[in-house]
């Protein structure tokens, strides 16, 4: 059944979201609407409030673990547009609509000679979701090129602009995952990019990859292509094998904990994480606990990267979380470290 609201918003009932979550779970939303303009968003939120419906903002569904049936209203932003607001002193400020695809925006920025996003190529999802967990890859995070964002503040019922100091960006974290969860609908994101390249090559396998390709003076496009190639070789394509990328966060431990672990496990993979702490590679811990390539009935642990849990087909939230709990328990028993789940579970557990 579909219902029209004014301003024109098409409300769909019992809408399938199976193709709208990268795990490929079979999911039905009680109500779904797609919005392109701010008044439509306001109308949809007002209806949800009157009807006492919970609201989920859905982007590409690449960081969500959804239940079979979602109560209330799911809103997908389909606003589009990229506009350069300022250009001076070797920098541009560019405003990008939340509904734009992240990877397409990264590719477009390069085509315009705007640099800084190369390391974050091929991250699935939308531009609007990028600030939520301050997405990051290969040593670069959203916050490194973030200027500000515009959002609808559901609490104050007005449009706001938020600057970096108001977003509390941290490692895969922001205010939008923390104290302000659910308060803001991000409408556009503004980026500060450079018109001169400044390549970040010293992370993961990037330098090695470029050298293997015989590229000794890499350009931004070489870096972009390297990141895409490396990612394609290590990560499952959600269109082929359902997944939400890294299932667990890389745990932070004290220096003392790290040293004790390193004595017992000399090949432990870890990196400095500031203020006397170390970041452990969660994928290594899971691999060492024997899970890489594990296959349960419908779900499993990806054979090339143990940090990625996958849906082999027919899996659901319950079966995936049951596997996650087993992985957490065995890592805790072997290393004394608790792994936290990175993607959001909706509705909350
Ligand atoms: P969704 O999953 O739809 O939503 C995520 C959260 O954002 C939800 O809480 C949702 O309610 C909220 N949200 C979405 N849009 C808005 C909005 N406009 N306003 C307010 N709230 C909103 N992440 C990384 O950080 N680095 C990586 O390298 C990376 N690699 C990945 C690789 C693969 C193969 C996959 C499947 C995932 C990967 N991810 C990675 C995780 C994921 O792609 C990112 O978190 C991405 O930003 C999620 O975008 P999305 O549009 O799919 O958001
Ligand atoms: P990788 O290159 O095999 O590295 C394994 C882990 O070691 C990563 O988690 C990374 O931490 C860390 N690492 C590697 N080099 C580092 C350095 N020089 N300094 C500090 N930490 C370092 O990882 P991968 O699985 O192939 O992923 C590559 C990048 O894409 C990583 O940045 C990863 O975060 C990102 N990614 C994220 C997701 C997601 O869903 N969140 C999914 C896929 C890939 P970090 O994770 O902190 O960078």
pLDDT digits (tens, 9 = 90+) for 114-141: 999 999 999 999 999 999 999 999 999 9
pLDDT, one tens digit per residue, over 186-219 is 999 999 999 999 999 998 789 999 999 999 999 9
**pLDDT at residue 251 tops 80:** yes
The predicted pLDDT at position 75 comes to 98
Which atom belonging to ligand 1 lies closest to the Cα atom of 134? 25
Active site residues: 172, 246, 342
**Distance in Å, CA 250 to ligand 2 centroid:** 9
CATH class of the structural domain 2-77: alpha beta
**Distance in Å, CA 61 to ligand 2 centroid:** 21
Pocket of ligand 2 (CB under 6 A): 136-138, 203-204, 234-235, 245-246, 250, 271, 281, 283, 305, 307, 342
The predicted pLDDT at position 5 comes to 56
Q: In which order are the strands placed within the sheet that holds 242-246?
A: 242-246, 308-311, 299-301
CB proximity list for 315: less than 8 A, separation 6 or greater = 23, 25, 242, 298, 299
Q: Rounded mean pLDDT of 290-307?
A: 96
Cβ of 124 less than 6 Å from ligand 1: yes
Exposed e or buried b per residue across 325-345, where buried means at least 16 C-beta atoms within 10 angstroms of its C-beta? eebbebbeeebebebebbbbe
The predicted pLDDT at position 62 comes to 98
The predicted pLDDT at position 252 comes to 96
pLDDT, one tens digit per residue, over 264-296 is 999 999 999 988 999 999 999 999 999 999 999
Which atom belonging to ligand 1 lies closest to the Cα atom of 120? 28
Confidence of residue 297 (pLDDT cuts 50, 70, 90): confident
9 touches 42 (CB < 8 A): no
pLDDT, one tens digit per residue, over 43-53 is 999 999 999 99
The predicted pLDDT at position 10 comes to 87
250 touches 282 (CB < 8 A): yes
Q: Indicate which residue's Cα is closest to atom 14 of ligand 2.
A: 204
The predicted pLDDT at position 65 comes to 98
The predicted pLDDT at position 193 comes to 98
- DSSP code, position 62: S
Cβ of 149 less than 6 Å from ligand 1: no
Q: Rounded mean pLDDT of 18-40?
A: 97
Cβ of 185 less than 6 Å from ligand 1: yes
Coil vs helix vs strand at 317: helix
Q: Indicate which residue's Cα is closest to atom 36 of ligand 2.
A: 137
Q: Ligand 1 pocket: which of 29, 35, 38, 57 to mutate (most atoms <8 Å of CB)?
A: 57
Q: Rounded mean pLDDT of 9-21?
A: 95
How far apart CA 269 and CA 59 sit, in angstroms, is 33
CATH class of the structural domain 82-194: alpha beta
**Distance in Å, CA 56 to ligand 2 centroid:** 28
**Distance in Å, CA 175 to ligand 1 centroid:** 15
Cβ of 245 less than 6 Å from ligand 1: yes
How far apart CA 70 and CA 113 sit, in angstroms, is 42
Which atom belonging to ligand 2 lies closest to the Cα atom of 202? 18
CA of 60, nearest ligand number? 1
Task: Tell me whether the omega of the peptide bond preceding residue 347 falls within 30 degrees of 0, making it cis.
Answer: yes
Q: What are the strands, taking DSSP E only, across the chain?
A: 2-5, 9-16, 28-35, 55-58, 64-66, 69-77, 82-88, 91-97, 136-137, 140-141, 146-153, 158-162, 184-194, 242-246, 252-254, 270-272, 277-280, 299-301, 308-311, 344-346
pLDDT, one tens digit per residue, over 51-94 is 999 999 999 999 999 999 999 999 999 999 999 999 999 999 99
The domain ranges of the chain are 2-77, 82-194, 242-346
CATH class of the structural domain 242-346: alpha beta
**pLDDT at residue 98 tops 90:** yes
Confidence of residue 349 (pLDDT cuts 50, 70, 90): confident
**Distance in Å, CA 343 to ligand 1 centroid:** 8
C-alpha R_g of the chain: 21
Cβ of 61 less than 6 Å from ligand 1: yes
Q: Ligand 2 pocket: which of 63, 204, 304 to mutate (most atoms <8 Å of CB)?
A: 204
Confidence of residue 32 (pLDDT cuts 50, 70, 90): very high
**Distance in Å, CA 198 to ligand 2 centroid:** 20
**Distance in Å, CA 130 to ligand 1 centroid:** 6
The tokens describing 18, both together, are 């199976």
């Amino acid at each position: 059944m579909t219902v029209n609201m004014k301003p024109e918003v098409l409300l769909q009932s019992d809408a399938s979201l199976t193709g709208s979550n990268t795990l490929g779970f079979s999911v039905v939303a009680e109500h779904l609407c797609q919005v392109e303009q701010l008044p439509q968003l306001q109308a949809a939120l007002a209806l949800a409030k009157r009807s006492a419906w919970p609201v989920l903002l859905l982007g590409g569904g690449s960081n969500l673990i959804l239940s079979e049936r979602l109560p209330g209203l799911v809103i997908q932003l389909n606003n589009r547009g990229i506009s350069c607001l300022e250009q001076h002193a070797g920098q541009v400020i560019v405003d990008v609509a939340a509904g734009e695809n992240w990877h397409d925006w990264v590719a477009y920025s390069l085509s315009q000679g705007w640099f800084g996003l190369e390391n974050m190529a091929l991250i699935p999802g939308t531009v609007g979701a990028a600030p939520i967990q301050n997405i990051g890859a290969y040593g670069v995070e959203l916050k490194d090129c973030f200027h500000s964002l515009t959002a609808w503040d559901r609490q104050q019922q007005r449009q706001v602009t938020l600057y970096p100091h108001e977003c509390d960006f941290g490692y895969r974290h922001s205010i939008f995952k923390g104290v302000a969860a659910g308060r803001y609908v991000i409408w556009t994101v503004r980026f500060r990019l450079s018109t001169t390249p400044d390549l970040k090559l010293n992370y993961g396998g990037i330098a090695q990859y470029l050298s293997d390709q015989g590229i000794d003076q890499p350009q931004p496009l070489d870096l972009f292509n390297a990141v895409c190639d490396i990612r394609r070789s290590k990560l499952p394509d959600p269109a082929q094998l359902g997944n939400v990328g890294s299932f667990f966060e890389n745990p932070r431990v004290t220096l003392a904990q790290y040293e004790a672990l390193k004595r017992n496990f000399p090949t432990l993979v870890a990196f400095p994480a500031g203020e006397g702490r170390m970041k452990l590679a969660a994928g290594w811990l899971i691999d060492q606990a024997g899970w890489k390539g594990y296959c349960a009935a419908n779900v499993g642990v990806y054979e090339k990267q143990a940090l990625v849990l996958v849906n082999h087909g027919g899996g659901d939230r319950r079966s995936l979380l049951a596997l996650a709990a087993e992985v957490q328990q065995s890592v805790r028993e072997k290393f004394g470290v608790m792994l936290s789940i990175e993607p959001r579970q909706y509705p909350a557990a």
